[in-house]
Structure 1
Amino acid sequence: MCPPEAFTSTAGASTLEPDSFVPQTEISKVAFKFATFLLHPAILNHSIRVYLYARDIAAAKGSRYHDEPDKQDLLFIACIFHDMGTTDAFNGASRFEVEGADAAVKHLAMFKFSVWDKRDVWNAIALHTCNGIVQRMGDLAAILRLAIEIDFGRTDSVDGIDDLAALKATFEEKFERKDIEIVLADAVVAQAVKNPAKAPSNSWPGGLYRAYLQDPEWKGVNKAFGA
Structure 2
Amino acid sequence: MCKTADDVPRGVGTGTITAAVRSLLPNHPVCNEALNLAKSSLPASILYHSFRVYFYAQAFMTIFQDTDPTDPTPASIARAEPHVLFVACILHDIGTSSVYDSVPERFEVVSADVAARLLRSHAIPEPAVRDAWLAMSLHTSPGIAERLGGTVRALRLAVRADFGSYPHPPAEYVPGGAEAMNAIRWQLPRLEVEKELGDSVANQAISDPQKAPKASWPGDLVRAKREHPGWDGVNKGF
Alpha-carbon distance between aligned partners in 1 of 2:79 and 2:152, rounded to the nearest angstrom: 18
Normalization by structure 2: what TM-score? 0.80
Query: Mind listing any 5+ residue stretches in structure 1 that lack a counterpart?
Result: 1-7
1:7-26 alignment to 2 at 5 Å? 9-13=12-16, 15=18, 17-26=20-29
Is residue 52–residue 162 contact of structure 2 (8 Å, CA) maintained in 1?
yes
Q: Report the AA paired with residue 73 of structure 1.
A: H
Matched, 1:193 2:206: yes
1:118-197 paired onto structure 2 within 5 Å? 118-154=129-165, 156=167, 171-197=184-210
Matched ranges for 1:203-214 at <5 A: 203-214=216-227
Q: 2 CA distance for matches of 1:201 and 1:79?
A: 25
Q: What is the match of residue 72 of structure 2?
A: none
Within 5 A, what are the aligned runs for 1:78-157? 78-91=88-101, 92-154=103-165, 156=167
Question: What is the CA-CA distance between 1:69 and the residue it aligns to?
Answer: 9.8
Letter in 2 for 1:72: P
Q: CA RMSD in A?
A: 2.7
Given that 2:63 and 2:173 are in contact with CA atoms closer than 8 Å, whether structure 1 keeps it comes out as no
Structure 1 distance, partners of 2:184, 2:60, is 14
The alpha carbon displacement at 1:30 in A equals 1.5
Deviation (angstroms), 1:70: 7.0
- The letter of the residue matching 1:205 is P
Deviation of 1:9 after TM superposition, in Å, equals 4.0
Distance 1:16 1:96, change over 3 A: farther
Distance 2:137 2:202 in 1: 17
CA distance in 2, matches of 1:163, 1:69: 15
Fraction of identical pairs, as percent: 36
Cα offset for 1:216? 1.8
Indicate the SS of the match to 1:112: coil
Scaled by the length of structure 1, what TM-score is found? Answer: 0.84
1:74 paired residue number: 84
1:43 equivalent to 2:46? Answer yes
Structure 1 pair 16/97, CA: closer, same or farther in 2 (3 Å)?
farther
1:187 aligns to what SS in structure 2? helix
2:56 aligns with one of 48, 53, 56: 53
Q: What are the ranges of 5 or more consecutive residues in structure 2 without an aligned counterpart?
A: 1-10, 67-77
CA contact (8 A) 2:51 2:90 kept: yes
* CA drift at 1:34: 1.6
Instruction: Report the counterpart of residue 5 of structure 1 in structure 2.
Output: none
Q: How far off is 1:16 after superposition?
A: 5.6
Q: Which amino acid is the alignment partner of residue 51 of structure 2?
A: I
Mapped partners of 2:86, 2:167: distance in 1: 24
- Give the distance between the partners of 2:81 and 2:13, measured in 1 at CA: 28
